[in-house]
Structure 1
Amino acid sequence: MQFKKTKYFNSMTHKEIELPFGTYYFCNNIVISELNEGVHFDWDKCSMMINKILEFYGEDCKIGFISNRINNYSVDPNNWVRAHSEYNFMIASAIIIYQNSSYKVATLEKYFSQKKLKRCLSLEEGITWLQKFKKLKV
């Protein structure tokens, strides 16, 4: 379910950021991503997203990240390795899964992630899980 169609859209303070490959919602200490159908999320796109996050939250931020997989797209799992080695702002991530094929991809990504990564069946589950992390700050 799109973030716009959830109860959180009106209850969580957020800024909507449109990039050529998807929409991002910058909430208090959680980023929710919704990539476009058919995108290949490579390092160039990842670094563009990271720059927007650091520009918005600041260099010393500690945030949670939600990949709301409402569309089919591909991800280079090495993005996780590179992002964690070059930047240190993500405390934990949640991948919201709507299809069986997404679960398999998320399982592979979990092995590449050096931070906590949870596969969730709803956006509500992902938001609730990330809100438990006391280290999140902006």
Structure 2
Amino acid sequence: MIFETSEPASIFKHQKLTLDFGVFYFCDQFIIVEINEGIDYTWDKIEIVAMMVVKHYGNNPKLGYISNRVNSYSVDPSLWDKFHNTYNMIVASAIVSYNKFGSLNAEIEKRLTYKSTKRCTSLDEAIVWITNLKEFKN
């Protein structure tokens, strides 16, 4: 389920950013990422998104990251440690998988990062988990 047509899209205030490799939804406490089919999500693309995040949220934001895997694409899981060490803006991540292959990939990514990561089977589950993190409770 894509975020834009989901019930949470009508609940959470968000700004949509469409790039040639994916769609990004900037909500108050988290980002939802939907990478396009067949894309190789490389460091260059990740840096573009990081710059857009800083432009939107300002310097040193603390956000949740939801990877809504509605399409099949590739990413080198080792890039996430590089991302966290370079930008340090993601508190925790949720990976939404809609099939067994996606779930297996999410498990590999979860094992290769030191940040809290949850595998989810629905966008709703991911949003509930992210918004209930202690870092976002005031």
Across the aligned residues of Structure 1 and Structure 2, the Cα RMSD in angstroms comes to 1.1
In structure 1, stretches of 5+ residues that fail to align are none
Q: Take 2:109 and 2:48, find their aligned partners in 1: how far apart are those partners?
A: 20
Paired positions, count: 137
2:25 corresponds in structure 1 to 25
Q: Once the 2 structures are TM-superposed, how far is the Cα of residue 136 of structure 1 from its aligned partner? A: 3.7
8 A Cα contact 1:80 1:114, kept in partner: no
In structure 2, stretches of 5+ residues that fail to align are none
Q: Once the 2 structures are TM-superposed, how far is the Cα of residue 134 of structure 1 from its aligned partner? A: 3.0
Q: Once the 2 structures are TM-superposed, how far is the Cα of residue 23 of structure 1 from its aligned partner? A: 0.2
Q: Take 1:112 and 1:50, find their aligned partners in 2: how far apart are those partners?
A: 20
For the residue of structure 1 that corresponds to 2:102, the secondary structure is: helix
TM-superposition CA deviations, 1:54-97 (whole Å, max 9, x none) = 11111121000000000011111111110111111100000000
Q: In the alignment, does 2:122 pair up with 1:127?
A: no
1:8 corresponds in structure 2 to 8
For the residue of structure 2 that corresponds to 1:38, the secondary structure is: coil
Q: Name the amino acid aligned to 1:52.
A: M
For the residue of structure 2 that corresponds to 1:98, the secondary structure is: coil
Q: Take 1:77 and 1:7, find their aligned partners in 2: how far apart are those partners?
A: 30
1:111 corresponds in structure 2 to 111
Superposition misfits of 4+ residues, deviation over 2 angstroms:
none
For the residue of structure 2 that corresponds to 1:102, the secondary structure is: helix
Q: Once the 2 structures are TM-superposed, how far is the Cα of residue 11 of structure 1 from its aligned partner? A: 1.0
1:89 corresponds in structure 2 to 89
For the residue of structure 2 that corresponds to 1:93, the secondary structure is: strand
1:59 corresponds in structure 2 to 59
Q: Once the 2 structures are TM-superposed, how far is the Cα of residue 107 of structure 1 from its aligned partner? A: 0.9
1:43 corresponds in structure 2 to 43
Q: Name the amino acid aligned to 1:21.
A: F
Deviates more, 1:32-41 or 1:105-114: 105-114
Deviates more, 1:128-137 or 1:5-14: 128-137
8 A Cα contact 1:91 1:136, kept in partner: no
